[in-house]
């Protein structure tokens, strides 16, 4: 993999996180990763072209919200739950529909 630009937990910037989450598509992606666990890109693309989906995943990745790993021919995207929680405690809880406890 060539472009792995993945900020370390301490490097995650609040402005970047907010910017990433200010787009409805990206916000929905984060919510689904949170509730459904890791997903391929195409599992979350709506009717968008691949290049647009790829762009949004990149924004999420560079903001530090998700991590991507290869699995065969697909790439699985996972929310960096612990890293985000450690850096900005409580933030994810505002974003994600609360699971019953």
Partner DNA sequence: GCCAAAGTTCGAAAAATATCGAACTATCGA
Partner DNA sequence: TCGATAGTTCGATATTTTTCGAACTTTGGC
The answer to whether residue 48 forms part of the interface with DNA (CB under 7 A) is yes
Query: Can you tell me the distance from the alpha carbon of 3 to that of 69, in angstroms, rounded to the nearest whole number?
Result: 12
Which of 1/94 has CB closer to DNA?
1
The answer to whether residue 10 forms part of the interface with a second copy (CB under 8 A) is no
Q: Which of residues 62-91 bind a second copy (CB under 8 A)?
A: 88-91
Instruction: Check: CB of residue 17 under 8 Å from CB of residue 72.
Output: no
Give the count of residues interacting with a second copy (CB under 8 A): 17
Buried b (16+ CB within 10 A) or exposed e, 18-35: eebbeeebbeebbbbbbe
How far CA 101 is from CA of 12, 22, 80, 91, in Å, comes to: 28, 28, 21, 18
Least distance to a second copy, CB of residue 51, Å:
22
The answer to whether residue 14 forms part of the interface with DNA (CB under 7 A) is no
The answer to whether residue 69 forms part of the interface with DNA (CB under 7 A) is no
* Residues lying near a second copy in the complex (CB under 8 A): 14-16, 18-19, 21-24, 27, 88-91, 93-95
């Amino acid at each position: 993999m060539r472009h792995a630009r993945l900020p370390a937990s301490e490097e995650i910037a609040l402005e970047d996180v907010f910017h990433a989450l200010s787009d409805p598509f990206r916000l929905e992606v984060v919510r689904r990763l949170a509730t459904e666990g890791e997903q391929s890109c195409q599992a979350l693309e709506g009717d968008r072209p691949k290049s647009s989906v790829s762009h949004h995943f990149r924004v999420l990745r560079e903001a530090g919200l998700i991590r991507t790993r290869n699995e065969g021919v697909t790439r699985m995207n996972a929310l960096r739950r612990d890293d985000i929680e450690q850096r900005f405690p409580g933030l994810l809880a505002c974003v994600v529909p609360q699971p019953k406890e």
